Every structure is written in C-alpha cells, then in structure tokens.
C-alpha cells in the first residue's frame, strides 16, 4: 500500500508543473514610454484589444517594467514616441537592459507601436527599430490587423487635423487591432514560459 501511495505522490509531484501551466493564461505585456501621454493612450488601446479573456494583460510604463515581467510574458508589445525619427532614448535604454545571456526572450512574440507629432516624422522607423531589437533577441514579430498597420500601430498627434486633439479614433482602432492579433497569436503559439 505504501508503494502505491509513493507512486501516486510521485506522479502528482511530476505532473504539477504541467497542470499549473495548463491552467495559467499566457501573459501579454504592453510596455510604453510616454512623456506627453499620447503613447500611453495608444498603450491603453493596445491593452484593450489584447483583453480577449484568454490572456492576462499587463500594462506598464517601461520605468515600472521589471525583468520578471519580461520573462513571464509570452508576448511583449512595446511603444515609443518618435524622437528625431528614432525611438526615445529611454526606450533604447530599456531594450538594452533586456536579458540576453542564453536568449531568454527567444520565441516570445513581439510587436511595436509608436506616436509621432507629424506625418512622415518617423513612426514607421521607430516601429522598425523596435522590431529590429526584438529580432536580435530571437522574438517572433507580429504586425497589426490591417495593411495600414503592417509594422504595428501608430498615431499622428501634432500636425494638421490631428494637432491639439486627443489621439484620434482611427489610430486607436489600429492599436486595438494590434493588441487583439498579438493576443490571438500568443494563445495559438502558447509561447509562455
């Protein structure tokens, strides 16, 4: 009888991590840097789109995002404002802090979003720079739902009809679509640690 109890205990002990993992939802981390508040509004829309019920969404500014947040996430969606057609220096510093030894970010899903003050001021360049960094880490890149959001989601916040207004609905719809698509893919691929 003791043998069977020991055998049952051993099976439960060995199966527990598998059972716990099957019960946990994949994590989608939406991290952003937003000195003006525009990128934060886009991040909130991305998070709203990701909230499918099948994933856990974590929404944080990069200053509050920890290495544990990065490692726990199955998908990371990163947002930056445009700084001279580049990602914000704080965002580059954040990416440079990601763990690299043994490539723990490999096979996680990655996506990008950006905000810029004008038309053709560098939103696509910012998203591509984020994507390039994610590729160095071995991440799997996902674009938005629409052709117009192929590199991710972006918003124009300071030129023409977009100046002096909140982030426009057309951009928020693209942000939600990006979040939704990433959430769907992280569930399909189940890249959670």
Tell whether 142 is covered by a domain.
yes
Q: What is the pLDDT of residue 53?
A: 80
How would you write the pLDDT of the chain (193 residues) with one tens digit per residue? 665 555 555 556 565 554 444 558 999 999 999 999 999 999 999 999 999 889 999 999 999 999 999 999 999 999 999 999 999 999 999 999 999 999 999 999 999 999 999 999 999 999 999 999 999 999 999 999 999 999 999 999 999 889 888 999 999 999 999 999 999 999 998 755 5
Q: What is the pLDDT of residue 20?
A: 47
The CATH number of residue 140's host domain is: 3.40.50.360
CB contact at 8 A, 87 and 130: yes
First to last CA, the chain: 37
Q: Tell me, yes or no, if the pTM score tops 0.75.
A: yes
Tell whether 7 is covered by a domain.
no
Residue 144 belongs to domain spanning: 25-189
Please state, in angstroms and rounded to a whole number, the distance separating the CA atoms of residues 38 and 42. 6
Q: What is the pLDDT of residue 8?
A: 55
Q: Which two tokens stand for residue 89?
A: 């220096």
The domain tally of the chain equals 1
Angle of helix 123-136 versus helix 89-96 axis, rounded to 10:
10
């Amino acid at each position: 009888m003791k043998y069977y109890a020991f055998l049952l205990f051993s099976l439960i002990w060995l199966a527990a991590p598998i059972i716990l993992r099957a019960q946990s939802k994949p994590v989608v981390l939406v991290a952003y840097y937003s000195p003006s508040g525009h990128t934060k509004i886009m991040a909130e829309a991305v998070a709203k789109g990701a909230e499918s019920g099948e994933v856990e969404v974590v929404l944080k500014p990069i200053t509050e995002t920890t290495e544990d947040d990065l490692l726990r996430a199955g998908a990371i969606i990163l947002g930056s404002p445009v700084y001279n057609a580049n990602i914000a220096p704080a965002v580059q510093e954040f990416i440079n802090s990601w763990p690299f030894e043994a490539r723990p970010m490999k096979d996680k899903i990655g996506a990008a979003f950006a905000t810029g003050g004008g038309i053709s001021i560098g939103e696509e360049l910012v998203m591509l720079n984020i994507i390039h960094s994610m590729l160095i880490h071995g991440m799997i890149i996902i674009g938005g739902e629409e052709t117009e959001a192929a590199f991710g989601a972006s918003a124009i916040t300071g030129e023409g009809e977009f100046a002096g207004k909140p982030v426009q609905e057309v951009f928020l719809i693209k942000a939600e679509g990006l979040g939704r698509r990433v959430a769907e893919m992280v569930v399909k691929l189940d890249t959670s640690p």
